[in-house]
Structure 1
Amino acid sequence: MSEPFESYYAVIFTSTQKENIEGYPEMADKMEALARQQSGFLGMHSARNQVGITISYWKNLEAIKNWKQQCDHVIAQQKGRKDWYSWYSVKVCKVEREYEFSL
């Protein structure tokens, strides 16, 4: 019998970038480090190519709301809309089950 699973939330940020993304890699690293300091943060996966996908994991919806409103994150969001992204989508999902495979 498996252990009880405690659900959590995933925020899926999918984006395409403009051609000139000067300063973006540094800001992305800064935001990841800052997110890791936030209460309720559980982890993150990211892949950045033609389409960027970043998934962050959070304990609850309140933690997600607090992260969205964090002052440095708000500045990064504004800069992203102005300078770096040609399109993005954000999805907030409840994770009720998980499993993985590894060799």
Structure 2
Amino acid sequence: MSAENIQISKTPSPPYYAVIFSSIRTEVDGGYGEIADQMVELAKKQPGYLGHESAREGLGITVSYWKSLDAIRNWKMVSEHLFAQRMGREKWYRSYKTRICLVERDYGFELEN
């Protein structure tokens, strides 16, 4: 992926929530990439979704941003997401950890072109 296509999520002013999903994959693919892409597109349509960032090189880390704890709970219960969670436990992950955090402050820098 070129640097022009990589973006940091544009989140609103805090407070909002971050869900940090850290994972270590198995060797099994079994449609992982396709399902992961579907989950991103589905999450984007959920009420309260604010954005996400993801990286993987051995350890995978995806951070999704949400307006509220209710929005996070609702996303967790979407049937397609429940299926992906089950597949993750059965096939795709050796281990994973989910952390839910309240973002109280954020700041950044962006080079102007």
Query: Which band: TM-score by shorter chain?
Result: over 0.9
Pairing partner for 2:103 from 91, 95, 98: 95
CA RMSD of aligned residues (A): 0.8
Q: How does 1:7-26 map to 2 (within 5 A)?
A: 7-26=15-34
Pairing partner for 1:74 from 82, 92, 96: 82
Runs of 5+ consecutive residues of structure 2 not aligned to the other structure: 1-12
Following superposition, the deviation at residue 60 of structure 1 comes to 0.3
* Residue 84 of structure 1: aligned partner: 92
In structure 2, how many angstroms separate the alpha carbons of the residues matched to 1:36 and 1:20? 26
In structure 2, how many angstroms separate the alpha carbons of the residues matched to 1:98 and 1:38? 23
Q: What is the aligned-residue identity percentage?
A: 52
TM-score, normalised relative to structure 2: 0.85
Following superposition, the deviation at residue 22 of structure 1 comes to 2.8
How many residue pairs get aligned? The number is 99
TM-score, normalised relative to structure 1: 0.93
Runs of 5+ consecutive residues of structure 1 not aligned to the other structure: none
In structure 1, how many angstroms separate the alpha carbons of the residues matched to 2:106 and 2:29? 34
Pairing partner for 1:40 from 45, 48, 51: 48
In structure 1, how many angstroms separate the alpha carbons of the residues matched to 2:14 and 2:105? 9
In structure 2, how many angstroms separate the alpha carbons of the residues matched to 1:25 and 1:66? 23
1:62 aligns with 2:84: no
In structure 2, how many angstroms separate the alpha carbons of the residues matched to 1:61 and 1:86? 27
